[in-house]
Structure 1
Amino acid sequence: MRDLDKALADIITIRSQIAAGTAFRGYGPAAIAATGGVALMTAILQYLWLDDPTGHPLTFLFGWAVAAALSALMIWIEMQARSRRHHSGLADAMIHQALEQFLPSGIAGVLLAVVLGKFAPEALWMLPGLWQVLVSLGVFASVRSLPRTVAFAGGWYFAAGFVVLVLASQNHALSPWTMGLPFVIGQWLMAAILYFASGETDAED
């Protein structure tokens, strides 16, 4: 029985090592581009219907939380289908690896919003920029299993996050555009990179 357990553990280890050296093809350009559309629609709706985002920060942030949840669901559904199609028996290991790379920055974004909302609501104006920086870290963490050129998208989010922080620091205001436009551009850039890049030749071996 002990030998069987050891053999199963060895198989899992081998599968994980193979997954780590394989380009992940679970992220689909269509879903990524659609999340950019979600960000654009959210920004437009908030611009039209939310007169004072700074005066209603929880409403503002709740709208973006819903947009983020919808975007994550879209990416997850397509990731499941594409991984089964492109990675077959390695699909579960590849998805697990992708989550390991991006999930820490996502969890940090959620906890940051909760902590600021509860203990420092006067600092909520920083969240849009901080979220963009965290997304950049998630993208950079994923570079080793994606086309290397996704680093350009990570660079965009990194630069945009700090620019948004500098702009918002002048009046501590929340704006649907400083939240939305960086994500629209970043997600569409990511979708274009995934569409045109060849995972087999552009990702690390």
Structure 2
Amino acid sequence: MMRASKLFCICVLCGIVSAVSAQNVYKTDVVASYYADKFNGRKTASGETFNMYGFTAAHKTLPFNTIVKVTNLDNGKTVNVRVNDRGPFVEDREIDLSKAAAQQLGMTASGTARVSLEIVQSPDEENAEIERTLIAASAKSEEDQRWDIQLGAFADKGNAKLLARRLMQAGFTNVAYQKVGNITRVVLRDIATGDVDAVEDKLDKNGFTQYIVRERKNIVTKTTED
């Protein structure tokens, strides 16, 4: 009974795997052709310039930017192409490949080949990937940001020096002045994003509870030694 149950589970799992794989299969036995020289440099239906050395394809209905895996059924060679054009407008042909893609499939001599088509990535998935890339880039940009923490702003430079001295006595080594008109700011300068919280905690523990955190952008500062 246990063996039968295991066999049933294996069959069910195999069925699930087959179903998942089948979802990506678009066409199983169709004809591919390719287009090249006389079209090279012309505008495609998507507005892009056709480059016969790129891995692209024309299809009558698949959305632009769909990534399709094309398999040559005669030799087993495969290539991934991105749909950026419309066609082919010849009866019984399913997809028109760039010259580079046709070469990878080994079909340039014959001009056509029997192929299967599998959807590797839909435009929605591509947009999601782009969004993930932008989020990662944004996070990296945030990591690269630098910050100044302003502790005071004084018309009297003497008062600025007194505050700077207190900060240095508390163990802060990045104390600096910023001159804005007749005002002298006292700041902790050039702090990495990941260090801001720790610096704020240290300020609070030493009784410096009033401050302003500013992103550091082309700010001219002078060290307290100047």
Q: Which has the higher helix share?
A: 1
- Name which one, 1 or 2, has greater alpha-carbon Rg: 2
Same fold? TM cut 0.5: no
Normalised-by-shorter TM-score class: under 0.3
Q: Which has the higher strand share?
A: 2
